[in-house]
Structure 1
């Protein structure tokens, strides 16, 4: 600190590697802070696992013998068909947690404290979404173990299966930016949780996650086939080798090219909602 004309003047802190390097550094610092916070509250992770495990058990054993997949009602076929949908639902439902966490930080004034530090403005949100991605990845690992126990298998090798999980995590990361925008737009964590879930139910159920989209009425079928959620589910099924013989693949472009459709949708959602979230953050803390 120096004195200029009798007035204290704080010497600017040198930025690491320019604006981009500073932003990356600050984002990782905030992400690590949130990961440590999650580790100190393990019940958050435990409760996040309960719902998807319940969905696996209920859909596998309650509906497994009554829903036809590829012309067959064998429960084992439906379990393999189902798991990509459960994985995708799990990563997207993390949106509510991301929104609630940011709303909680806003409510407690933590964001104002971050604002007083010499750090990149977007780093607070990027760090939070990266930390949520770590939690989602851990949840997917546990859920995959449960799926293997109930009979789910991969059939096209580990590299393709890993690619399928990468697409699922990318979708979850994209949706966490929607959660960030919701968290910045409401006043309480409770409102963020409700706002983060209410639109996810129609998105996930008007899709090919739990039933083949070809069984739906025309309007719902078109919505389901162009749903970004459906593209990732279809891509994961192909990469896991979980499409049964005789399963009719819809003729729409996203269903014919699900990997590309999933990548495009996720990149588009990240680009749009990150820009909106950072803009909202700046106006909320300005």
Structure 2
């Protein structure tokens, strides 16, 4: 992780750490904080606690997003303090607007048309939401520009050493965000042989040709979850509400749990193995399929 972040995430970059409640790479975000990256533009469909930590740590100058918050709990207080003060930039879209920006970036399109902003006030505060006339029937719709992150970080259940990456469970726009990006880091629970990937090709989210680095980092999505490996740590999200309200408590948390640990293994060691006893799900195999061996 240290090498991947040092090599591929640079000061001033546009960075996307995607994942929709599920498969959010907190471990990668913490390494960005440890390395004290600066002046980043952070992009995400639904910024939650990891972005509160990143912004609270001072790595960012701008946030490009749709809905943000601590899911099921409340506000992101570190983000809120900066947004309500001077000097921090925000660029807000609807969920579909952010998906459209990634999709246009992935397809190398000049814009993405959508109806999301009818009767919305967002176009009055975001100059990048504009209208365009259909060349087919003259209808006027809204459009958003492509988004090209310098780096997209995706967490997944497994990948091989070539970067062929497989994920299952609740997915967001990881694929679009990765294909729109200039550089891609994949963080996985398991590093597997290529034969495992080839045996179940329909689970492949990203091909290795699009991936610049693969990081094997078990439990790297904590406190979010990885389907089949560990559940969402709701206790952490509830605790973060109290921590993030107080700048001194937030700084102390970062000092202890991020700057005070050498890497994610150190973070896990502080939690202790027994911490995950209640977060480890029982097995629930989904069955198997026969692809047939055509010779």
* TM tier relative to shorter chain: under 0.3
Query: Please, what TM-score do these two structures have when normalized by structure 2?
Result: 0.24
Structure with bigger strand share is: 2
Query: Please, what TM-score do these two structures have when normalized by structure 1?
Result: 0.24
The higher-RCO structure (CA 8 Å, 6+ apart) is 1
Larger Rg: 1
Structure with bigger helix share is: 1
